[in-house]
Chain A
């Protein structure tokens, strides 16, 4: 038992150590990578991917996957900026809660398909994503929606407290809140036991469909929060703003040591995975590597990281 805990500590530390090594290695070419300004800026950028990945971790722990991230994110951004764009005081205040509620609603639709109809989450969430796209196109006419970000959204995304980005604080605060929720309420145990064996969990008296619903609602809300932050960062919502976040989210969660089959993983690991992915893509673009080579290097490094992980497993 003791040994297992130690092994999992190493696992969680793995993406963090890899991030540090990568940034040290890159700083031998560009010393600016070690400046506080650069690193704090990266934490801000990482926060956008970070909040989405926290939600994705919860779903992946179940052994499911949420491919509706792009338009849960995009929809939330469109709703919040449109509400602010009305210049109505009450609607402006309601912008962020409305966007988050929208995310939870997307989670409920996902839950209906996955928990009640037992449709593979990979297909159902994909279908939900294309329906959301359809609704967005119908409402915005395919153009970038008019609207603006409220002061609250801008502060959340770009503000700083003693040089520390507010977005980073939001990310970490959300992570801590979710950890407490998972650990204290027993919810986390339900998640991973469903990931291991749903039938046994059901026989043990757990309302498995309820757990699946809540997990997808958390994921949807997290994606929506990501959308609100991104809308605040860009001061607008735009079509397909969520597309570049789908695959990196999955990669970050898996590099963070969460098994894609469910049952095993941690939120702390995901934070490490997000840090790694964000630093990697930032370093590659700062070094002015062409998009083609960025894709190639990105793919190779993810494979190497995963090979290292499984290699460790086999030794222990």
Chain B
């Protein structure tokens, strides 16, 4: 047990922070811990959590994805056309929307690997392209999602929010098997040392492209889930989600230098970030002061993780 704590120290800290924040949130919320309150909270968290997971897969192979928000906007707009039918159309539509996200991630990966351009600048450019495509689909916000379907995804099952079930499914059926597989290990290996990974016979290019494509898949899922919650297509949602997804993975203990962190951490980081803003809403602070407090909390949270550096005796360790 102690080993688990040691190994996943960052995730444990993130979990306790989230637990404390959530307790505070439920305590301050006028309606307390009802299913209704928890469902709304979980829905908001899951959107950002999926975006953060998208960011996680790219960050862990030493990239950064500035197109997460744009892929979300594009898939959100596509969903507003594809998900308003019924029955089989919904299955087909959901599949197409996620495939679209994956394709976007795949394009990012292909350009990064074969064009040999830095991910940050590739995704900056492709992000612009994806936003443009989203605007072509929906010049103004509009469209609709099948209400029954959207309700099924955003309400609760036996009193527990569907969003929580989805998160659990992702962790149990996707993340744990992936982490144990050769693919999961290769992703971490590339993030830690590309050269060592290459010399161990890992096909670095393929794995990196797959990591980017997985990022696209989750950005597509984030866009889909955003559609279920808002029930409309909007091309203008990009900027916020991109930057918040980066902040979320860092809060969740994922290192931007690659190779460190877990999907669960990214998920927790996103929930922390969302809970902070929800807390602000019910805290009774003057509304005008809320963005400042939010910024201060974010900065403090990030800085606390780095206090260790000040007490480091060996000055050279600082540069590692």
Contact = CB atoms under 8 A, between A and B. Distances in A.
A118 interface: yes
Interface stretch (A4-12, A72-80, A127-135, A178-186): A127-135
Interface string A134-147: 11011001100000
A134 B294 contact: yes
Given A127-B295, A134-B293, A135-B292, A117 B124 contact: no
A171 interface: no
B318 A243 contact: no
Max chain B CB contacts within 10 Å: which of A120, A133, A259, A293?
Answer: A120
B294 A294 contact: no
A310 B131 contact: no
Contacts, number: 152
Nearest to A135: B292
A38 interface: no
Given A122-B64, A251-B121, A303 B115 contact: yes
A292 B295 contact: no
Nearest to A120: B256
Interface stretch (B46-54, B83-91, B298-306): B298-306
Contacts of A134: 289-296
B111 A126 contact: no
A59 to B, nearest CB: 14
Interface in B100-138: 111, 115-118, 120-122, 124-129, 131-136
A176 to B, nearest CB: 27
Contacts of A297: 132
A199 B319 contact: yes
Given A119-B302, A123-B256, A303-B111, A291 B246 contact: no
A174 B111 CA distance: 35
30 contacts: A113-B303, A117-B303, A117-B307, A118-B306, A119-B305, A122-B256, A123-B246, A123-B256, A123-B302, A126-B247, A130-B295, A130-B299, A131-B295, A134-B289, A138-B289, A138-B291, A198-B319, A203-B316, A250-B124, A292-B132, A293-B136, A294-B132, A295-B128, A296-B133, A299-B127, A300-B129, A303-B111, A306-B121, A307-B117, A314-B116
B296 A124 contact: no
Contact of A299 (B120, B129, B246, B316): B129
Contacts of A118: 306, 309, 318
A296 B124 contact: no
A117 B319 contact: no
A30 interface: no
Contacts of A132: 295
A247 interface: yes
A292 B136 contact: yes
B319 A127 contact: no
B159 interface: no
A261 interface: yes
Interface of A: 65, 67, 113, 116-120, 122-124, 126-128, 130-135, 137-138, 141-142, 198-199, 202-203, 243, 247, 250-251, 254, 259-261, 290-300, 302-303, 306-307, 310, 314
Given A138-B292, A296-B136, A306-B117, 16 more contacts: A130-B294, A134-B289, A134-B290, A199-B320, A247-B66, A247-B124, A259-B118, A290-B135, A292-B139, A300-B125, A302-B121, A302-B124, A303-B115, A306-B125, A307-B115, A310-B116
Interface of B: 64, 66, 111, 115-118, 120-122, 124-129, 131-136, 139, 239, 243, 246-247, 250, 256-257, 288-296, 298-299, 302-303, 305-307, 309-310, 315-316, 318-320
Nearest to B137: A292
A303 B110 CA distance: 12
Given A199-B319, A295-B129, A127 B247 contact: yes
A213 B263 CA distance: 34
Nearest to B301: A127
A250 B127 CA distance: 14
Max chain B CB contacts within 10 Å: which of A130, A250, A296?
Answer: A130
A118 B120 CA distance: 20
Contact of B302 (A127, A142, A290, A300): A127
Given A293-B132, A296-B132, A307-B115, A202 B319 contact: yes
A124 B139 contact: no
Contacts of A198: 319
Max chain B CB contacts within 10 Å: which of A199, A251, A292, A299?
Answer: A299
Given A202-B319, A250-B121, A260-B121, A123 B306 contact: no
Contacts of B132: 291-299
Contacts of A131: 292, 295-296, 299
A311 to B, nearest CB: 9
Contacts of A300: 125, 129
Contacts of B116: 310, 314
A165 B297 CA distance: 44
Contacts of B292: 131, 134-135, 137-138
A261 B118 CA distance: 8
B128 A299 contact: yes
A153 to B, nearest CB: 27
Contacts of A294: 132
Nearest to B249: A123
Contacts of A133: 291, 295
Contact of B288 (A67, A123, A137): A137
Contacts of B310: 116-117
B306 A119 contact: yes
